[in-house]
Amino acid sequence: MKIGFIGLGNMGGPMAANLAKAGHEVTGFDTASVSVEGVSLAATAAEAAAGRDVVITMLPNGQILRAVAGDIVPAMDAETVFLDCSTVDVASARDVAEQAEKAGLLPLDAPVSGGVGGAQGGTLTFMVGGSEAAFTKAKPLFDIMGQKAVHCGPSGNGQAAKICNNMILGVTMIATCEAFALADKLGLDRQAMFDVVSTSSGYSWTMNAYCPAPGVGPQSPADNGYQPGFAADLMLKDLRLSQQAAEAADADTPMGAAAAALYAQFVEDEDGAGRDFSAMLPRFEGRGRG
């Protein structure tokens, strides 16, 4: 396929490189000066999008997605798949999809799970909203960039799935870190805590696969000084998106709201910026009840 790829950062760059490595003709664009193996660079986003079979975007937020869509939609041929892999608000995803459909394009919103490691290794999970026809056309690309793609329904539902998943993730990580900090103060050894919880009713992905306690469980960012695998800043972004969506849908999400507030305090008022989202554990370690 001829593929345009707009947004060649920490996630987009490796994704584009994997597509090129698989034999696709990839033309990319980024506002920063970048170099991606196998990818030819265009001077503008519109140039990268013109004459392609599929155009993929990986962008920071909904406002930028809307702006880029305004540039590239007029340049794209009818029946081109517009595959947005950014994590943005549901309203932006649906508005851009509507704009694309009016232009005769096949829009998909397909945010990812798996982080930079998943992008590099081609093991991402895609949560996809859009038509069955568009999903089928893009499926071979999902198979190159990731290990799983789930069609979640109409446009916007990919974003809905991502923010619901990450709301659970944020809440669960906080609970896991709180529990380890409490166990410390009760004199319970961390390894014993892990051995019990990881095989009991408290088990979770944050405990079993991404344990926030250094030296306990499988290798995780906690064993690397909390250098980010998934940054607390990005967790805060996703939790805020969940609360924006909850407000729009009139959904009661008190735990999601509490998690958003805690990560905001951690990132903006404490030392959480640039650290992994599991660095909540040392935060709780150093705090008392008051």
For position 115, what pLDDT does the model report? 86
* 190/195 Cα distance (integer angstroms): 9
Same domain, 183 and 240: yes
Domain identity same for 132 and 175: no
Last residue in a domain, options 107, 134, 153: 153
Domain with 126 in it: 2-153
Active site residues: 162
Residues 6 or more apart whose CB falls under 8 angstroms from that of 141 comprise 1, 3, 19, 24, 54, 56, 83
Is residue 137 domain-shared with residue 94, that is, in the same domain? Answer: yes
> Are 167 and 131 members of one domain?
no
Average pLDDT for 155-183: 97
- pTM, two decimals, is 0.91
Residue 9 has what pLDDT?
A: 94
DSSP code for 50? T
- Residue 136 CB coordination number (10 Å): 12
Q: Is the alpha carbon torsion for 242, 248, 249, 254 positive or negative? A: positive
Give me the chain's average pLDDT, please: 97
pLDDT band at 289 (very low <50, low <70, confident <90, very high): confident
| Average pLDDT value for residue range 176-192 | 97
In this structure, what CATH number is given to the domain that contains residue 188? 1.10.1040.10
Asked if 258 and 175 count as a contact pair (C-beta separation under 8 A), the reply is no
Integer Cα distance of 284 and 79 in angstroms: 52
Q: Which pLDDT does position 94 carry in this prediction? A: 96
Q: Indicate whether 73 and 202 sit together in one domain.
A: no
d(CA 141, CA 87): 18
Number of domains in the chain: 2
Q: In terms of domains, do 139 and 199 share one?
A: no
Q: Tell me if 276 sits within 8 A of 231, measured CB to CB.
A: yes
Model pLDDT for residues 249-279, shown as the tens digit of each residue: 999 999 999 999 999 999 999 999 999 999 9
Same domain, 101 and 193: no
Nearest CA-CA partner of 272 in 177, 164, 198: 177
Q: Residues 30-66: pLDDT tens digits?
A: 999 999 999 999 999 999 999 999 999 999 999 999 9
Domain identity same for 12 and 57: yes
DSSP states of 108-177 as a string?
A: EE--EESHHHHHHHT-EEEEEEE-HHHHHHHHHHHHHHEEEEEEEESTTHHHHHHHHHHHHHHHHHHHHH
pLDDT at 181: 97
* Whether 185 and 122 share a structural domain: no
Contacts of 143 (CB under 8 A, 6+ apart): 149
**Residues of 168-202 as b/e, b for ≥16 C-beta within 10 angstroms?**
bbbbbbbbbbebbbebbeeeeebeebbeebbeeee
pLDDT: is 67 or 229 the higher one? 67
Provide the pLDDT for residue 187. 98
Contact between residue 106 and residue 55 where contact means Cβ atoms under 8 Å apart: no
* Spatial contact of 45 and 94, defined as CB atoms under 8 Å apart: no
Q: Which of 137, 153, 169 corresponds to the end of one domain?
A: 153
